[in-house]
Amino acid sequence: MAKHKTECYPASYLAECIATFVFVFIGAGVILSASYFNNFDGVAIAAAHGFTIFIMVAATANVSGGHINPAVTWAMMLRGVFTKDFSILNGVIYILAQVVGGALGVSALSVLMYFVPGGKEAAAAVNYGTPGLAANLDPWGGFFLEMIFGFILVFVILRTAVEQKLSWAPFAIGMTVFVLALSGGSYTGAAMNTARWFGPALISGTWDNAWVYTFAPMVGAIFAVIANVFISFKKSNISPE
């Protein structure tokens, strides 16, 4: 993941918009496809999300940092308060670009479904891929789970892509999304990304538990930043052997 600057770069915003567009188009699209063919495979759905993130982070890391998630940008904004390498204004525009990209991704799916016999009905049956809570899951339970998922994802990103700048960080991030989606998809849809939820919610008009999908990943990101600062501080104070 590239080091951020405080200046505003239009190319970065475009990269975030395109990457989020692709992620939501494929992520929500695989759910629409599952609905159309009545073949819901949790592993395939999780893999589609995870590998798409892997691909798009790798594609945009040297342009925008490959956030593709408001929670990640929020974490970089918080971190930037101390490091001065990512500004609040930059972060706000990043998040707007991600949200727009997600909405455009589902809009493209909506147009596509017009050309598929029965496609609109299949899409409506799953609310255009909008993540939702399991029927027996309390909203606060959903909030806690999405918060934990957000924490894990952002923590992995901070440690692999930001602090250590590992070349294989995109793969680690994609696999984290895959594992989390596989483990929690049946409970909350494992959105861990407000833009991933917002696009389908906007097109389908499904706003159930909006506060969960909007704020839980952000809260998780706060804890991830705190943990990262603590670990980095401890590491810097370890005397070399």
CATH number at residue 222: 1.20.1080.10
E strand map for the chain: none
**Residue 220: predicted pLDDT:** 98
At 80-119, the pLDDT tens digits run 877 788 888 999 999 999 999 999 999 999 999 999 999 9
Q: Examine residue 170 and state whether it is found in any structural domain, yes or no.
A: yes
Burial environment of residue 227 by CB neighbours within 10 A (0 to 12, 13 to 18, 19 or more): middle
Q: Examine residue 51 and state whether it is found in any structural domain, yes or no.
A: yes
Q: Which residue has the higher pLDDT, 213 or 85?
A: 213
At 161-180, the pLDDT tens digits run 999 999 999 999 999 999 99
Q: Examine residue 2 and state whether it is found in any structural domain, yes or no.
A: no
Q: Examine residue 5 and state whether it is found in any structural domain, yes or no.
A: no
Would the pLDDT of 241 be above 80?
no
Question: What 3 state SS string does 89-130 have?
Answer: HHHHHHHHHHHHHHHHHHHHHHHHHHCCCCHHHHHHHCHHHC
Which residues constitute the domain of residue 202? 10-236
Does residue 216 contact residue 187 with C-beta atoms inside 8 Å?
no
- The rounded distance, in Å, linking the Cα atoms of 196 and 47 is 15
**Count of structural domains within the chain:** 1
- The rounded distance, in Å, linking the Cα atoms of 94 and 110 is 24
Would the pLDDT of 1 be above 50?
no
Q: Examine residue 212 and state whether it is found in any structural domain, yes or no.
A: yes
Q: What are 206's two structure tokens?
A: 């499904």
